[in-house]
Amino acid sequence: MAVQFSVILSAYNNFAALNRALPFWFNQTCLDFELIIADDGSTQEQIASFHAAVERLNNANVSVKHIWHEDEGFDKCGMLNQAILVASAPRLLFLDADMLPRFDLVANHICLLKPGFFITGGSHVNVNEAGQQFLAELEQGAVNKANQLSSLFASKAFVEHGFIAKNKASRVSTFGIQARVKDFLTWRSNAFTGANSSCWKSDALRVNGFDKDWGYGGLDRDFGIRLTNAGTSSRRHQYSLVALHQEHGRPYRKADKVRQNKVMLKQRMRDKAIKIENGIDKLTEKEIRIIWANK
């Protein structure tokens, strides 16, 4: 059966964090989606732990596909392009594997993503180490009932236990009409981010996906700039589209590369670039490797 959304999760040796997030995916208010893991070369041990967790926690029987390639250095763009081609839905939602979706995330993306637009979730709220330990205990105990997980947001438990910053509390625990009103009051167009943004698959194909020549830093912003140059408008929904991020170090971040990419982003805007050369259309069928699927 066709689904409305393909949720693409970028992963690289962070499956402990993804396993903690799985109950939140499998207890969404809308289950009309598939999960695609875009894995940039994780170890076999990590992969095995993830597959076991899906079998144990997938009470909703959500379709899960795991695509993977050998670790040959940073190639997130290549894996995202593979995931776009594998996706069976007309809409794509991009997040990192260590993100915890609020229970209404998929439903709200379905409601808010309109033709001619891409949308960005405005709330990328960090969960500290103590909060991650709390989540690990939930996952190990298979505490994956929808009412228990949703109450973590509604009761402001993340804030009360000191797991997230107090100034983020209203973003996490504002729902429904109140969230839409606050979205309207804080409305603005926004850059595409790989940590909670959605677009139409047809638009992603039109710009030829992500640029494999880009490397780390700003690859999602480049994708969004080209979507905008192609005539796609953007919207940011700060209160309706909420996901928590399990904070971690970034030893791979290189300041000189970040500076270089900022210059390249400005050039993309000046050139009004749309379709890049080293993108989806360079992929061959042999390169796409689905190593595991539950359906």
Residue-range domain boundaries for the chain: 5-277
Going across the sheet that includes 91-96, the strands are: 99-101, 233-246, 117-127, 197-200, 91-96, 5-11, 33-39, 63-68, 290-293
Residue 39 CA to residue 17 CA, distance in Å, equals 14
Q: Say what percent of the chain tops pLDDT 90.
A: 58
Better-scored residue on pLDDT, 99 or 186? 99
More confident residue, 93 or 242: 93
> pLDDT band at 194, cuts 50/70/90?
confident
User: What is the per-residue pLDDT for 151?
Assistant: 60
CA dist., res. 134 & res. 223, Å (int): 35
Q: What is the mean pLDDT of the segment spanning 22-37?
A: 94
pLDDT tens digits, 32-89: 999 999 999 999 999 999 999 999 989 889 999 999 999 988 899 999 999 999 999 9
Q: Kindly state the tokens that stand for 203.
A: 């638009």
Q: Yes or no: say if 276 and 229 are a contact pair by the CB < 8 Å rule.
A: no
Q: Which of 131-140, 192-201, 233-242 has the lowest mean pLDDT?
A: 131-140
Please, which pLDDT band fits residue 247 given cuts at 50, 70 and 90? confident
251 pLDDT above the threshold of 80:
no
Q: Which pLDDT score, from 0 to 100, does residue 87 have?
A: 98
Give the best-scoring range by mean pLDDT among 150-154, 223-227, 261-265.
Answer: 223-227
**pLDDT over 70 (residue 199):** yes
The whole-chain average pLDDT of the chain stands at: 87
At residue 3, does pLDDT exceed 60?
yes
Higher pLDDT residue, 229 or 123? Answer: 229
pLDDT of residue 147: 54
Instruction: Identify the band that residue 162 occupies on the pLDDT scale cut at 50, 70 and 90.
Output: low
Task: Please determine, for residue 189, whether its predicted confidence score (pLDDT) is greater than 90.
Answer: no
The helix (H) or strand (E) run that includes residue 235 is strand 233-246
pLDDT of residue 253 exceeding 80: no
Q: What is the pLDDT of residue 141?
A: 58
Q: Which of 28, 27, 34 is nearest to 5 (CA)?
A: 34
Evaluate if residue 143 carries a pLDDT over 60. Answer: no
pLDDT attached to residue 127? 72
pLDDT on residue 8: 98
CATH 3.40.50.920 describes domain 5-277:
no
Q: Which residues contact residue 114 at a Cβ distance below 8 angstroms, ignoring those fewer than 6 apart?
A: none
pLDDT at 152: 65
The predicted structure's pLDDT at residue 278? 95
Identify the bridge partners of residue 71 per DSSP, sorted by sequence position: none
